[in-house]
Amino acid sequence: MSSYPQEKYIDLENNPYLLGRISINQVKESFHAEVDIIHRESHKIFKHVDIVYHQPSEEEALITGIQRLRQFLERIEKISKTEPKEDIIH
């Protein structure tokens, strides 16, 4: 049996200072994933992205968390190509 929370880290392309972090928790029979972008050295939260609730397994929670992180990063990339670089991440 695994102990929770479990944290998985994802390298972000083109940014040596930040990481993606998926924190997985088990609540009764389901799993939740908290999706954040954190500072690589201090692990302090830079941006809270999303929380995924009620997944049937740890693997599903991780996969869905990674998808949400990817969608967020794609939105930011799209915005950065069309708007000035000021205040892209709020």
What pTM was computed for the model?
0.84
Q: Put residue 12 in one of left, alpha, beta given phi > 0 → left and psi -120 to 50 → alpha.
A: beta
pLDDT in tens, 11-57: 998 899 999 999 999 999 999 999 999 999 999 999 999 999 999 99
Average pLDDT value for residue range 50-68: 97
Q: Which residues, other chains included, contact 88 with Cβ-Cβ below 8 Å and sequence gap of 6+?
A: 76, 79, 80
At 88 the three-state DSSP class reads coil
Predicted pLDDT of residue 90: 55
Average pLDDT value for residue range 3-18: 93
Q: What are phi and psi of 68, to 5 degrees?
A: -65, -40
